[in-house]
Copies of this chain bind each other. A is one copy, B any other.
Amino acid sequence: MIQLHDKVYTCPVDVTLGFIGGKWKLLILSHLHQFERKNYSQIKSNLPGVSEKMLSQQLKELERDKLIEKEVLSLKPYRVEYMLSAYGKALSPVYEVMSSWGISYLKHNGIDYMKDQELYK
């Protein structure tokens, strides 16, 4: 049992899960892993189905927890770019293994993601 920030965790994996759990965070992180840096709208269109509420909420939490960084490109027209921080990059194997596991699962189910992915856009 680990106590931290008024919460109790059963093990280190549980601690990590506290930061990247939920429906959207790992998706955001792995997209930033794939594409390096992206602005708000680009992330939004990469994650079909995300609502703006969810996206800005999750981005804010990821930023607060130092998994991603936001660079403000301009203020007058407010423009930003998001990218993985060193902490976020340390989880790269997670994004990669989960991605290839998913791809091979799809392959076993007759879906060749690598070949078909342009069809899904």
What is the count of identical protomers in the complex? 2
CB-CB under 8 A from A113, the residues of chain B are: 2, 12
Known: A12-B103, A12-B113, A48-B1. Is A17-B98 also a contact (CB below 8 A)?
yes
Q: How many residues of A contact B (CB 8 A)?
A: 43
Contact of A94 among B2, B46, B97 (CB under 8 A): B97
CA distance A14 to B31 in the complex (A): 11
For window 19-44 of A, CB contacts with B under 8 Å fall at 19, 21, 23, 26-27, 30-31
Instruction: Report which A residues bind B (CB closer than 8 A).
Output: 1-2, 4, 8, 10-17, 19, 21, 23, 26-27, 30-31, 46-49, 90-91, 93-95, 97-106, 109, 111, 113, 120-121
